[in-house]
């Protein structure tokens, strides 16, 4: 073991109530919203095929010109309560909001910069409105904070001179002040989600990342901090130089999910974040983004994938520049929510079904009840039939579809420990079955005909 001053603080996952809640939530809504939402990936008529929030860099827009967009940020259509309602309809249990993205514009009136909503055309504490609205609807709120800041004159990508070191030292003081300000203004938030921490300048300041985590946790006991904040004494990120996770959960899965066979990932808490179009987090109005939009079946599959490996799924939404929710995203949110209202039992508070191998046609999940396993069937084969290979010593006692769509299932014992589900009579959507399992008492494993079978 290498001696570290700023490495991991825990050798195993946190088990306190706040962390249990994080784990049970499983499905969160990510919100990317800022000045870039008004431009929506388009500058002077040109559609930039790149993440909308990167427009100032991609279109090489001078900083002062970009900053003037705050004068147009009047967000007439913004209604925090409506946003919160849609999150509830989608079935999300928590929300992560970009308090400040790389552009540096703050959604709260910060006393440490002039570049904030209080000075923009809107002139209100938009973040405060969102925190209150989401909490009022029972959702946990997390704040996204980009350490990378394109607007601040003291930001440095790397430290090449004493002057750089001084400037960046001032920047780190500024960022810590802002973070403490956020924790004091919104003490009910459950966690901080960090980003923009990959540059050499931040990696050279592992001590600062360690201090930030400490200070925020002193201000808000039980606070949850993503691994992306942290660097250790030697600049190792997420995991310290001894391979131990820093922060409270692994937040490195971005627009990708772990291999479904990967059991190692279940040894810690983790969360994957995902865009609806291929690669834009901020609202993008271009054809490129529209062409790559995922459908609700794909997103539900990803959610189930994460849950089956004990992870959370944070699905991003990019509201438009006037504050209204993008129509396509409303539809997706409702479709996911409608699926969750029938099948959420297999998702919330569930995780890895130990001893059940990845089946290929979907996923297994399980909660604390050892007698129930959920089969989430997202890829129904052309034959309409799937096989359940039961772990040794277990028998199937019941197979109950969670939604009416699965009512036509026909269950058939093929041989000891192998059961076939014929789904050709079911409606073609992601089907979920609650499998009642128990120790095998005899060779006959399917005891009662399923009352729901339509044959």
Binding site residues, ligand FHN, CB under 6 A:
51, 53, 195, 254, 273, 281
Residue 203: CB minimum distance to ligand FHN, A: 15
Instruction: Give the residue among 397, 393, 402 at the shortest CA–CA distance from 375.
Output: 402
Nearer to ligand FHN by Cβ, of 277 and 408: the residue is 277
Residue 397: CB minimum distance to ligand FHN, A: 43
Nearer to ligand FHN by Cβ, of 275 and 398: the residue is 275
Nearer to ligand FHN by Cβ, of 148 and 411: the residue is 148
CA 371 vs CA 331, 340, 399, 436: distances in Å: 36, 22, 12, 6
Neighbouring C-beta atoms of residue 214, cutoff 10 Å: 12
Nearer to ligand FHN by Cβ, of 273 and 421: the residue is 273
Nearer to ligand FHN by Cβ, of 53 and 129: the residue is 53
Answer yes or no: are the C-beta atoms of 403 and 452 closer than 8 Å: no
Residue 101: CB minimum distance to ligand FHN, A: 6
Task: Give the ranges where 225-295 is alpha helix by DSSP (H).
Answer: 287-291
Q: Taking the CA atoms of 105, 109, 113 and 114 in sequence, report the sign of the dihedral they define.
A: positive
Residue 217: CB minimum distance to ligand FHN, A: 22
Dist CA 75 CA 359 (whole Å):
47
Q: Rg of the Cα trace of the chain? A: 24
Residue 380: CB minimum distance to ligand FHN, A: 32
Residue 13: CB minimum distance to ligand FHN, A: 22
3-state secondary structure of 198: coil
Residue 89: CB minimum distance to ligand FHN, A: 23
Percent helix / strand / coil, the chain, rounded to 5: 30, 20, 45
Residue 238: CB minimum distance to ligand FHN, A: 12
Nearest residue to ligand FHN, by Cβ distance, number only: 281
Residues, the chain: 455
Nearer to ligand FHN by Cβ, of 273 and 276: the residue is 273
Dihedrals phi, psi of 83, to nearest 5 degrees: -60, -45
The residue assigned the tokens 């002139």 is: 123
Tokens of residue 174, six digits:
């500024």
Nearer to ligand FHN by Cβ, of 273 and 402: the residue is 273
Dist CA 221 CA 65 (whole Å):
41
Residue 51: CB minimum distance to ligand FHN, A: 5
Residues 6+ apart with CB under 8 A from 355: 391
Nearer to ligand FHN by Cβ, of 92 and 396: the residue is 92
Question: What DSSP line would sit under 394-434, residue for residue?
Answer: EEEEEEEESSGGGTT-EEEEEETTEEEEE-TTS-SS-EEEE
Nearer to ligand FHN by Cβ, of 254 and 413: the residue is 254
Q: List residues bridging with 43 in a β-sheet.
A: 46
Tokens of residue 139, six digits:
């959702």
């Amino acid at each position: 073991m290498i001696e570290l001053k700023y490495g991991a603080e825990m050798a195993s996952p946190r088990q306190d109530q706040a962390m249990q809640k994080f784990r049970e939530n499983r499905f969160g809504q990510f919100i990317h919203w800022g000045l870039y939402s008004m431009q929506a990936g388009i500058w002077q008529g040109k559609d930039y095929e790149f993440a909308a929030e990167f427009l100032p860099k991609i279109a090489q827009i001078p900083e002062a010109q970009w900053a003037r967009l705050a004068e147009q940020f009047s967000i007439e259509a913004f209604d925090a309560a409506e946003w919160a309602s849609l999150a509830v309809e989608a079935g999300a249990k928590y929300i992560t909001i970009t308090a400040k993205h790389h552009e540096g514009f703050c959604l709260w009136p910060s006393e440490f910069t002039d570049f904030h909503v209080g000075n923009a055309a809107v002139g209100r504490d938009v973040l405060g409105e969102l925190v209150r609205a989401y909490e009022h609807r029972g959702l946990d709120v997390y704040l996204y904070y980009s350490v990378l800041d394109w607007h601040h004159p003291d930001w440095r990508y790397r430290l090449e001179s004493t002057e750089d070191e001084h400037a960046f030292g001032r920047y780190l003081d500024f960022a810590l002040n802002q973070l403490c300000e956020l924790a004091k203004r919104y003490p009910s938030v459950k966690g901080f989600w960090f980003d923009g921490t990959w540059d050499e300048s931040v990696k050279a300041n592992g001590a600062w990342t360690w201090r930030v985590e400490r200070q925020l946790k002193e201000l808000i006991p039980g606070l949850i901090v993503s691994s992306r904040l942290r660097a250790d004494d030697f600049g190792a990120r997420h995991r310290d130089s001894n391979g131990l996770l820093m922060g409270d959960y692994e937040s490195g899965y971005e627009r990708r999910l772990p291999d479904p066979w990967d059991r190692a990932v279940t040894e810690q808490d983790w969360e994957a974040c995902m865009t609806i179009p291929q690669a834009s987090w901020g609202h993008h109005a271009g054809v490129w983004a529209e062409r790559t939009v995922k459908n609700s079946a794909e997103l539900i599959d990803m959610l189930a994938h994460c849950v089956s490996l004990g992870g959370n799924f944070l699905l991003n939404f990019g509201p438009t520049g006037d504050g209204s929710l993008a129509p396509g995203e409303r539809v997706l949110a409702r479709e996911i929510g409608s699926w969750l209202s029938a099948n959420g039992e297999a998702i919330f508070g569930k995780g890895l079904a130990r001893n059940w191998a990845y089946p290929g046609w979907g996923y297994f999940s399980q909660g604390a009840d050892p007698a129930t396993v959920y089969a989430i069937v997202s890829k129904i084969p052309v034959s309409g039939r799937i096989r359940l290979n039961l772990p040794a010593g277990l028998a199937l006692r019941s197979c109950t579809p969670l939604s009416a769509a699965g009512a036509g299932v026909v269950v058939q014992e093929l041989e000891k420990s192998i059961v076939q589900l014929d789904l050709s009579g079911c409606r073609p959507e992601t089907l979920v079955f609650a499998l009642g399992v128990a120790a095998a008492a005899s060779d006959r494993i399917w005891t009662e005909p399923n009352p729901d079978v339509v044959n």
